[in-house]
Structure 1
C-alpha cells in the first residue's frame, strides 16, 4: 500500500473506513476458514488476496471511485469479497434483490446508475429479459455457480474466477474520506418505486463496532465471539445481511456461506461445519425446524437471531424444543439495520419457559450508541410504562441520512431530528422496546387499536397453527375488524375448524392477554401465506385479496 508523505509533526487522521476492518482478522486469525457450501474453503489470508485481486480486476474493467457495481448472488464468499473490495476502492456496492419484479430490478439498477454487474449464472435468465433496458451498465461478469456458463443472450465480459486468477494480488487501497458512500440497496413499500438506501464507510464501521459490543461483551446465552462459527441465513442483498458479515470478519470467526437456501444443505452445514451462530426471518427458521432432517441434527449449540418479522411465542417454543437458542433482533433497511436486541441474560437458562419466552420475543434493548423513543400524535415522547404506544423514532450515527435522489420521501423519513420508523410500539420501565404493529397495519375497530402482532403471537400458541397473519378488513358497523389467515400443521388439516381457533382466541381474551373486542371473527385456512421478497408477511397483498 502506498501512502502520501507526512510532514514532521503532522498527525495521521485515522479514518473509519472498511479496509481497516481487515487488519484485525489478519493478525488474530489469518488461518481461520471461510467456507462456501461444500464447494470452496479458504483462509482469511486468501480472502485478503482475493479482495485485492477483485479490486484490480474491477479497475481493469473501468470501475473508478464513485462508480456503482451491482451484485446478483446468493450468500457466498464472492459476496463477502464484494462487501470489502468494492467500497474499499471508493466505489459503491449495490446489493441487488433478485426476488423483485423485472420492472423493479430495472428501476433500481438504473436509479443507482450501476456501471458493472456481477451475476451468478442462476440469475442470467432475469438479466436476459432486462439487459437492453439497463441504461448505464457497460460490463457483465458472471459467477459460474455450477462450473459452466449456460447459453445466454447476455454479452459476457468476464468469468469471476478467471478474472481473479488473471488479476494482480496487491491493490493500493486508498485512505478514503470516511463519509464516502460505500453501499446502496433498495427497499420496497406499499406504493411507488423502491427507495434507495445508502450508507457511508463511517456508518458501517460504527454499526459493526456497536453490534460486536452488543453481541459479545455482555454475559448472555446468545453471545457471538471469536470462537463461534457463523452462517448467515439472511440474504446478503438485504441490509448487508444485517451487517453481521462485517462483524464476523472483524472477529475472525469461521464463516460458512450456504448459497441457495435448501433445508437439507443448511442442516448439513450446521452439522458438518459445527455452526453456532446465525440469523434469519421466522419463515426460514420454520423451514429448517420442520425439515425431516432437523430431528436427526444436534442443534443444541445453535444460536439464532430472528428479525424481519415478529418472533412469536409459538415459534420460540418450537425452536427451544429442538435445542435452538433464539432471540429477537430489530431494525429497518434505513437503520443499517440493527437497533435493538433481546439478548437474554445467561441466568435465563434456569428460568421457567413462560418467563424465557416473554424476553426472547421482545423487540429488545438498544444497542450501544442507539437512542429510541415512542411519540404521540403531536410528536411528544410518551412515558416508558410498557403501555403508552406511539410511533417509534431513532437516533444513532449509522442511520441513512436520506433516500437516494428522493427529497420528498426523505422529508417524511426525518422529522425534528428523529428518523421515523413507521412502527408502533411502547417502551417499558426497564428500557425494552416492544413493536406492536406497523402504522399501516394497525387494525382500528370501533375506534380502538388492535395489534396484528399480538393476534399472530397468541394464535401461534395453538398446537394446530404453523403460521398466521392478522389483517383488518372493512366492517360496516365497526369500520374494521381483524381477520386471521392461517396455515395449519399437516397433522391438523381437516381436524381443526375456524371455531376451534376462535375459542382459543376467546380464552386468551378471558385470560387478559387480548381485549375482548380484539377477538377476530373470521379465520381463513390457506396453504401458503403471501411473503415479500425478503420473507416478511406481505400484508398489502393479503388486504387486497380479502378486502
Structure 2
C-alpha cells in the first residue's frame, strides 16, 4: 500500500534546509556577544552585516552559483564569515589544507576547479608558485593581519577589509535546492592523490542540529551551552573544524579564533578571554599541556573534546590532574565528521578517575540519527559483546555521498550501501564503541592481530614517555612485528629495554600477549605527523622501509 502524501496548501512555504537558516538565532539570543580574532572584536549583529558585505564582494568578483571559492587562512573571523557567505550565495567553499605539500595543494585546487582564492599573506609565496598550474582561478582576495598587507605579484582584486568596507551591509540571500553542494575539502589516504569529499546545505544543517544537541543536551556531556566561550584548536580547513563553528554561531556563544596555532597563545587566550570549550587532536592537546604558559595557568574548568586519533591513558590522566574536563569524539573526514561521542552516566562525574577512564577514552555512543554497526571480512554483522572486533560501517544524513570526480573510489567507500570507515572496533552491549585500530594499522604477527593503539597506550603510561607510535614492519618469520618509536619527556633518560620490561608487566596481568611486545623500540627526537597533527603511520612505515 503506498504511503499517504498530502498536497500542501496554496502558498505554503517548503522551507529548505540552507546554511543561511543557522544565522537566524544567534543575533536574537545574544546580539552583543563577541567574535574575537587578534585586534578584531565585534558582535553578532556585525557578524551578520559582514557576511552580507562579503557576499557582495564575492558577487562583484564574478562568483556565481556553483562556482568554487578557495580559502587559505588560519583560524580567524574572516574564515568564519566565509563559512556562511560563500555557500549562502550558492557557491561552494573549498577548505584548502594549507599543510599539505605544495604539489598536493596545487592538485586539490586544480581538481576542485577553484575560481577565486581568499589567501592570507603567509600563503602568498605558495599561491604565487602554484598560480600557473591553476587555469580556473580568475582572481585573488588578500587577507592580512598586518596594518600594511604583504606585497605580492598576484595583482589581487583587493584586500579583504578594504573590500568589505566598501560593500553594502544587507543582502537578500536566495533560496535554492537544499541538496546543493556547500563545501568541499580533500582527505589524504595511504595511496594516490588526495580525495575530495563534499557536503550539501541539508547535510550541514542536520549535522549542526545533531552537534548542538550532542554538545548541549546531556548533563554528562555539557560542553557547549549558551554561556560558554568557544575556541577551536582544530584547523578550520579540517572537516569544518568538526562542525563546531556552525553550532556555536547558531547558539550565539562568544567565539575566539586564535589564528595560527601556538600552544602558549592558546593558553593565554583561554585565560584572558574566559574560554570554556575547545577541541583538538591528542598531539595538540599534549603540546598544550607541556607549554610554558600552561605551567603557570590554572586550567581548571576547561572542557576539551579530542578526536582524530585515540587519546592515550597517560594524556587523560594528565588532563584530569590539571582540572580539565576531557571527552572523546569519533568521526572522519567523510562523515562531516561527528558519529559518536563519549558519555558519562548521571553521577559518574563524582566517581574516582579510575572508574571514568573507559567512558572518557572510548569513542562513545553513536549520536542522534546515526545508524552504526560492525562487520567482519565477509560483510556479516559482528556481535556487540565488547570483545568481538569488526569494521565500523555507518549511515547518517550527513555523510559524503562519494568522492568528487572519482566514482570508482566512492563506490568502494559505499560498498553494500553502508559507508566503510576502515576502523576496527568493538561495541559493548550498551552501545559504547571502543576503537581498536585502523584496518591498515592492525599488526598481523604469526596469525594473530595486535592492535597498535593498545600498545601505544600501555607504553605511554611510562613516566619517561612523551609520545609514542607503534607500526607493523615486515618480518620473514612472523609476517609482521610491532616496532615502536618513542619520544622521551623533557630531561628523561631511558633505554629501550626498560620499556620492554615495562610492557612485560601487562603480559603478566593478561592485558596483552607476549608477542605484542615490540622487539624493536627506538628512542627518537620526533615522530612524523600528518597535516592535522595525527601520527603519520604511513610515513613512519616508509621511513623504516627505506632505512
Instruction: Name the TM-score, length of structure 2 as normaliser.
Output: 0.97
Q: SS of the counterpart of 2:491?
A: helix
| Structure-2 residue corresponding to 1:160 | 160
Asked if the contact 2:95/2:184 (under 8 Å) is kept, the reply is yes
Q: SS of the counterpart of 2:169?
A: coil
| Structure-1 residue corresponding to 2:110 | 110
- Asked whether 1:374 is paired with 2:374, we answer yes
Q: SS of the counterpart of 1:248?
A: helix
1:223 deviates by 2.7
1:295 deviates by 2.3
| Structure-1 residue corresponding to 2:401 | 401
Asked if the contact 1:35/1:41 (under 8 Å) is kept, the reply is yes
| Structure-2 residue corresponding to 1:314 | 314
| Structure-2 residue corresponding to 1:546 | 544
- Asked whether 1:75 is paired with 2:65, we answer no
Asked if the contact 1:220/1:343 (under 8 Å) is kept, the reply is yes
C-alpha distance in 1, partners of 2:146/2:472? 46
| Structure-2 residue corresponding to 1:201 | 201
Q: SS of the counterpart of 2:330?
A: strand
1:149 deviates by 2.0
1:8 deviates by 7.7
Asked if the contact 1:221/1:345 (under 8 Å) is kept, the reply is no
C-alpha distance in 2, partners of 1:345/1:258? 33
| Structure-2 residue corresponding to 1:512 | 510
CA displacement, residues 86-144 of structure 1 (integer Å, 9 cap, x when unaligned): 00000000000011111111111111111000011011111121111112000000011
Asked if the contact 1:281/1:308 (under 8 Å) is kept, the reply is yes
| Structure-2 residue corresponding to 1:172 | 172
Q: SS of the counterpart of 1:425?
A: strand
Q: SS of the counterpart of 1:319?
A: helix
CA displacement, residues 200-248 of structure 1 (integer Å, 9 cap, x when unaligned): 0000000000111111111115431111100001000000000000010
CA displacement, residues 485-511 of structure 1 (integer Å, 9 cap, x when unaligned): 00000121xx21111100111111111
| Structure-1 residue corresponding to 2:330 | 330
1:348 deviates by 2.7
C-alpha distance in 1, partners of 2:489/2:508? 26
Moved more, 521-530 or 148-157: 148-157
1:349 deviates by 2.6
| Structure-1 residue corresponding to 2:5 | none
Asked if the contact 1:221/1:348 (under 8 Å) is kept, the reply is no
1:378 deviates by 1.1
Aligned length: 538
| Structure-2 residue corresponding to 1:89 | 89
Q: SS of the counterpart of 1:128?
A: helix
- Asked whether 1:526 is paired with 2:521, we answer no
1:151 deviates by 2.5
> Where in structure 2 are the equivalents of 1:268-287 lying within 5 Å?
268-287=268-287
| Structure-1 residue corresponding to 2:18 | 17
Asked if the contact 2:220/2:349 (under 8 Å) is kept, the reply is no
Q: SS of the counterpart of 2:466?
A: strand
Asked if the contact 2:214/2:221 (under 8 Å) is kept, the reply is no
C-alpha distance in 1, partners of 2:18/2:507? 52
Q: SS of the counterpart of 2:196?
A: strand
1:175 deviates by 1.2
C-alpha distance in 1, partners of 2:213/2:150? 45
CA displacement, residues 166-187 of structure 1 (integer Å, 9 cap, x when unaligned): 1111111001211110000000
Q: SS of the counterpart of 1:416?
A: helix
- Asked whether 1:481 is paired with 2:505, we answer no
Asked if the contact 1:308/1:536 (under 8 Å) is kept, the reply is yes
| Structure-2 residue corresponding to 1:223 | 223
Moved more, 192-201 or 220-229: 220-229
C-alpha distance in 1, partners of 2:147/2:537? 40
| Structure-1 residue corresponding to 2:472 | 472
Q: SS of the counterpart of 1:62?
A: coil
1:29 deviates by 1.0
Q: SS of the counterpart of 1:463?
A: coil
Q: SS of the counterpart of 1:49?
A: helix
> Where in structure 2 are the equivalents of 1:110-189 lying within 5 Å?
110-189=110-189
| Structure-2 residue corresponding to 1:294 | 294
- Asked whether 1:240 is paired with 2:235, we answer no
Flag structure 2 segments of 5+ consecutive residues without an equivalent: 1-7
Asked if the contact 2:141/2:158 (under 8 Å) is kept, the reply is yes
| Structure-2 residue corresponding to 1:264 | 264
Moved more, 514-523 or 11-20: 514-523
Instruction: Specify which of 528, 533, 536 is matched with residue 535 of structure 1.
Output: 533
- Asked whether 1:412 is paired with 2:418, we answer no
Q: SS of the counterpart of 1:243?
A: helix
Asked if the contact 1:221/1:346 (under 8 Å) is kept, the reply is no
CA displacement, residues 413-467 of structure 1 (integer Å, 9 cap, x when unaligned): 0011100001111111110111111111110000100000101111111111101
1:521 deviates by 1.3
Asked if the contact 1:327/1:344 (under 8 Å) is kept, the reply is no
| Structure-2 residue corresponding to 1:4 | none
1:377 deviates by 1.0
Alpha carbons of structure 1 residues 293 and 346: separation in structure 2 relative to 1, 3 Å: farther
- CA RMSD across the alignment: 1.2
Q: SS of the counterpart of 1:523?
A: strand
Q: SS of the counterpart of 2:182?
A: strand
| Structure-2 residue corresponding to 1:437 | 437
1:75 deviates by 0.6
Asked if the contact 1:243/1:337 (under 8 Å) is kept, the reply is yes
C-alpha distance in 1, partners of 2:37/2:507? 49
Asked if the contact 2:69/2:92 (under 8 Å) is kept, the reply is yes
| Runs ≥4 residues deviating over 4 A | none
Asked if the contact 2:215/2:221 (under 8 Å) is kept, the reply is no
Asked if the contact 2:452/2:471 (under 8 Å) is kept, the reply is yes
